[in-house]
Amino acid sequence: MKASTWSLCTLLCLYTWGQSEGYSRGPTLNRVRRAPEETDEDKGPKKCSYTFLVPEQKITGPICASRGSSLPDKDRVTRMDIADVRELLTKQRREMDTLRLVVDVDGNMVNEMKLLRKESRNMNSRVTQLYMQLLHEIIRKRDNSLELAQLEGRILNATAEALRLSARYKELEARFSALAAVVNNQSVLIGALEERCLQVYGNRRHEPPAPPLVQVVPENIPVSVPRLSNEIQRDHSRSISRERGSRAGPAPTGSTLDIKRPPQGNFSSEGPYRDCLQAMQAGHATSGMFLLKPDGTERPVQAWCEHDMDNGGWTVIQRRKDGSVNFFRNWENYKKGFGHIDGEHWLGLENIYNLAKQGDYKLLVEMEDWMEKKVYAAYSSFHLEPESESYRLRLGTYQGNAGDSLTSHNGKQFTTLDRDKDAFSGNCAHFHKGGWWYNACGQTNLNGVWYAGGVYRSKFQDGIFWADYGGGFYSMKGVRMLIRPID
């Protein structure tokens, strides 16, 4: 490489010999420095001027051109050498362009490779995601298959149980048919015995005459009646109709003196108090169930205290609202009480007597018809006489908007199915299906049968009626009887 450089330098020196100024040749050489030219006046030997050129192709050594024939012919640079150098440079330039093109192409390929790798990674992630979804779907279908197998097992068990029950039902049906045949035979025998008794004794027993119907034309009869009904609430019609067949009356559903089940709703374990007014004065301002122990009694009684009306302190002694409790009871039941304190109930004649004898009490009768209208009848005083007087009713003067249907019962004794104390020749409790202070039989029957719908059809007036509001054949939807000490 150094020999070629010196040859190029010599060639350029010969080419520039005799020129007064330095020059640069080609687009790839630049003049660096020129030596001053000697004149004729100068004394001494002639000197060679040097021009240093820097090529664009990274030529690192100086290139000089000399004027004169100081070099031998074999070392001189000819035009052919220059052409060869130029051809070499041109070839190297083409190769460099080719290399640049190759580098550009390789760079694009590298970028494409990077993009392909990135897409490959994305595809791997997507494939992994699809694989997980497929695995989850397989697991879910397997679980569904297990659930389906379990469901089929349960269906088979239920089917087997249904078949067993069907067989049992057929067996019971056969037994019922046999019992029905026995009953029919017994009925035939009873009929034959009755005929024989009639032949022996010669006359029939006369049925007692029915009491007179209430003839009061109410001033405040409900304007619209939803429907006619002679059915008790469906949930209790069967039990009540069965219980009517017993002259002694059914057994109580629960005495208020014995708490046989956990109380529902609001209940206070404090006390006992002498009445609900004392419970309210003790700080209990919310209505609910409380333990009361009237003066002179030994055992407490559970009662509902109403504090949300008329200054509070009212003791509920009777409630009717849905027909869930049968009020066709005997004397002992009405004496002790029955029902549920937070629903339909009768507090008990003995408990009412003990409460009212503590002082001066007043009575409030609150009624609701089937148009959801509420009316009331208030009496200025209220108390009962002891059991020896059959809990005779004592009332004060009337005030209210329901009409006075209870004053005609004032001074009357309490009558039940098994203890007749009314003024009628028969037993009013038998015809009115409840216990009450009947006259003969009277203008009200708040312990009668709960009929749904208001107006009812019955041979006797045995609904929950208040004669001065609705008449004798309109059964009220709800009734409450409450007592409170007089202020």
Token pair of 97 as six digits: 């362009």
Comparing CA positions, the residue from 208, 447, 277, 241 lying closest to residue 347 is 447
The Cα 56–Cα 284 span in angstroms is: 112
| Least confident piece of the model among 45-54, 432-441, 459-468 | 45-54
Structure confidence at residue 63 (pLDDT): 52
Question: How much is the average pLDDT of 413-424?
Answer: 92
71 has pLDDT over 60: no
369 has pLDDT over 60: yes
Residues in the chain: 487
Share of the chain above pLDDT 90, in %: 38
38 has pLDDT over 80: no
479 has pLDDT over 60: yes
What band does 75 get if pLDDT is binned at 50, 70 and 90?
Answer: low
Comparing CA positions, the residue from 380, 413, 383, 410 lying closest to residue 398 is 380
Contact 476, 453 (CB under 8 A): no
What band does 301 get if pLDDT is binned at 50, 70 and 90?
Answer: very high
- DSSP assignment string, 39-75: -TT--S-----------TTT--S------SS-S-GGG
Tell me the average pLDDT of the chain: 78
Top pLDDT among 373 and 251 is at: 373
Top pLDDT among 399 and 124 is at: 399
Chain centroid, CA 160 distance in Å: 35
Token pair of 350 as six digits: 């003995």
Token pair of 477 as six digits: 């939807």
Top pLDDT among 30 and 80 is at: 80
Question: How much is the average pLDDT of 136-164?
Answer: 89
**Domain segments of the chain as ranges:** 85-196, 276-485
Question: How much is the average pLDDT of 315-323?
Answer: 96
Structure confidence at residue 69 (pLDDT): 52
- Report the greatest alpha carbon distance in the chain: 196
Write the CB contacts of 402 (distance below 8 Å, at least 6 apart in sequence): 220, 365, 367, 375, 376, 377, 466, 468, 469
Contact 288, 305 (CB under 8 A): yes
Look at residue 405 and give its three-state secondary structure.
coil
The Cα 150–Cα 135 span in angstroms is: 23
Contact 287, 324 (CB under 8 A): no
19 has pLDDT over 90: no
Question: How much is the average pLDDT of 151-161?
Answer: 89
The Cα 242–Cα 245 span in angstroms is: 6
267 has pLDDT over 80: no
Q: Which residues pair with 267 in a beta bridge?
A: 289
- DSSP assignment string, 331-375: HHHHHH-EE-TTSSEE--HHHHHHHHTTS-EEEEEEEE-TTS-EE
The Cα 343–Cα 233 span in angstroms is: 15
Structure confidence at residue 53 (pLDDT): 55
Structure confidence at residue 356 (pLDDT): 95
20 has pLDDT over 80: no
Look at residue 271 and give its three-state secondary structure.
coil
Structure confidence at residue 178 (pLDDT): 81
Question: How much is the average pLDDT of 179-185?
Answer: 74
Q: What is the pLDDT of residues 82-108, one digit of tens each?
A: 888 888 899 989 989 888 888 888 888
Token pair of 337 as six digits: 């009480």
What band does 76 get if pLDDT is binned at 50, 70 and 90?
Answer: low
The Cα 446–Cα 468 span in angstroms is: 13
Chain centroid, CA 480 distance in Å: 34
| Torsion from C-alpha of 55, 59, 62, 67, nearest 10 degrees | -60
Top pLDDT among 19 and 157 is at: 157
What band does 210 get if pLDDT is binned at 50, 70 and 90?
Answer: confident
49 has pLDDT over 80: no
What counts of helices (H) and strands (E) characterise the chain? Answer: 7, 10
Fold observed for domain 276-485: Gamma Fibrinogen; Chain A, domain 1 (3.90.215)
Token pair of 109 as six digits: 């390929």
Which residues in 216-347 belong to E strands, given as ranges?
A: 288-292, 301-306, 314-320, 338-339, 345-346
Q: What is the pLDDT of residues 228-237, one digit of tens each?
A: 344 333 344 4
Contact 448, 458 (CB under 8 A): no
The Cα 300–Cα 271 span in angstroms is: 9
Contact 276, 446 (CB under 8 A): no
Tell me what percent of the chain is helix, strand and coil, each rounded to the nearest 5: 35, 15, 50
Write the CB contacts of 61 (distance below 8 Å, at least 6 apart in sequence): 2, 5
420 has pLDDT over 50: yes
